[in-house]
Structure 1
Amino acid sequence: MRTLPHPTPGEFRIDTVLTALADPIRRRIVRQLADGHGDQACIAFELPVTKSTSTHHFRVLREAGIIEQHYQGTRILSRLRDEDLDTRFPGLLGSVMTASDQETAAQEV
């Protein structure tokens, strides 16, 4: 079975996590995973980028430790590693997502 490499929580680095979350497309992916249920297939995300760019964004999130991905047949399923992130960097993910949501709401007004 094919597997993808993932960092352990002890390998998470704050600069890598923050760099990954700095991109609005990646925050959009994280928001959908946070609001969704369980594992989600990459095709479930409607992103305004090409498939190859989308793949890049998922890889950045996975390599930072923000998401976990695994194969199910030919599909790659993703899930948010919010518990691992909160253990390593308490409150970070929630704070970043709250700030992002507030910024998006302010832009819509």
Structure 2
Amino acid sequence: MAVESTRARSLTHVDPAEVPLQAALDALADPVRRSILRDLAVHDEWTRACGTFDLPVKKATASHHFSVLRAAGLIEQRDEGARRLNRLRRSEFDSAFPGLLSATIDRDDD
């Protein structure tokens, strides 16, 4: 039986249907977070580790951005060894907020 690490137990995932609209809008308002979502949108699920994103922020700030995205129901994360992999929860988020994700990340106006 595998023992779940403390790090993995710290991951909480919110159902996008339970996310208030303002929290979703706040998560999508930041250009760094939108760049993370755009990147995830063009890659296969579970192929992008947090440390592989080219972000203009320090590691602690990047961790905060991933946490905000997770809390807003936009991404799901899982630990695989020392890496934390990410998945865009597009279909789940679109069910809760139809068109919002596309309207925000499918644009090049950052």
TM-score, normalised with respect to structure 1:
0.87
Q: Does 2:68 align with 1:60?
A: yes
1:48-92 Cα shifts (integer Å, max 9, x gaps): 110000000000000111100111112111110000011111111
Residue-pair matches, total: 102
2:83 to 33, 54, 75: 75
Structure 1 stretches lacking a partner, 5+ long: 105-109
2:106 alignment partner, SS class: helix
> Paired residue for 2:21?
14
> Paired residue for 1:47?
55
Root-mean-square deviation (CA, aligned residues, Å) is 1.1
Q: Distance in 2 between matches of 1:64 and 1:10?
A: 10
Structure 2 stretches lacking a partner, 5+ long: none
TM-score, normalised with respect to structure 2:
0.87
Q: Which amino acid in 1 is paired with 2:89?
A: R
Structure 1 outlier segments of 4+, above 2 Å: none
Q: More helix by proportion, 1 or 2?
A: 1
Q: Distance in 1 between matches of 2:95 and 2:68?
A: 20
2:77 alignment partner, SS class: strand
Q: Distance in 2 between matches of 1:5 and 1:89?
A: 20
